[in-house]
Structure 1
């Protein structure tokens, strides 16, 4: 008798799980997937890969300021204006590469720098709308100027 009740309860439990999944879990998951939660706003869609536009110009400006503020380069360093390469990674993330001329014991030398940043706000001109994810400074090929 006890075995029959256990078997009936097992079957009822399996049927209950099946109904719960089909009537509760699956419709909820489908509703979430169809929502705008995972959609990228159309105005945010941009070309991925190598890019140059007004937003990357501001990104370059903020990268230069961050490198000076964080003392990655000396204060008297010179950034050749508008001489940079930028890549859009998607999700408002960018990588910028350029040169900086800095004083050293050998004289003024050119060094390459890379900056990864993300636009977090809506105003691209505002430094608070950007988050610097990392900077790196490397010697340039060719050496001193």
Structure 2
């Protein structure tokens, strides 16, 4: 090996090695990578087309239910909180992600009954909307100390 490095052909071998690496990359590696990129491997297949924007359907009803359950489990709500389910708004953001905005009625010791807003960003990860494990809560915004509208 030492003789090869010291020989007058070492630069020629280096040049040939670089050319072979380039040809191997150009003819084998790049086409393989392009086939993988162009395949459906990285694309999430939608089960159905969904309407984007403000929606209200069975899936958003389940999303609201899961947001409420998550808020109860986190303990962000007082025990006497009452959800106003009929007053919710939902927006489909695409990729089965929704923003749910609704109100909850809480008893304020100083002001009496007060209506507070909350928002929840939630995503349906898998197919069945009725299963709680198929939903992922991306964020909940509820500030019980804020002034009600």
- In the superposition, the TM-score normalised over structure 2's length comes to 0.81
Which residue of structure 1 lines up, in the alignment, with residue 74 of structure 2? 70
**Inter-partner Cα distance in structure 2 for 1:108 and 1:3:** 92
**Paired residues for 1:1-145 under 5 Å:** 2=6, 4-105=8-109, 106-138=111-143, 139=146, 141-142=148-149
Number of corresponding residues: 142
For residue 90 of structure 1, report the CA deviation from its aligned partner: 2.8
CA distances 1:6-45 after superposition (whole Å, capped 9, x unpaired):
3212211221121121122111111212222122324254
Q: How has the CA–CA distance of structure 1 residues 95 and 140 changed in structure 2, closer, same or farther, with 3 Å as cutoff?
A: farther
Question: Deviation above 6 Å: which 4+ runs of structure 1?
Answer: none
Cα RMSD, aligned residues only: 2.1
For residue 3 of structure 1, report the CA deviation from its aligned partner: 6.6
* Unaligned residue ranges in structure 1 (runs of 5+): none
**Inter-partner Cα distance in structure 2 for 1:39 and 1:45:** 15
CA distances 1:60-116 after superposition (whole Å, capped 9, x unpaired):
111112112221112321111232222223332222111111111121111111112
3-state SS of 2:83 partner: coil
* Unaligned residue ranges in structure 2 (runs of 5+): none
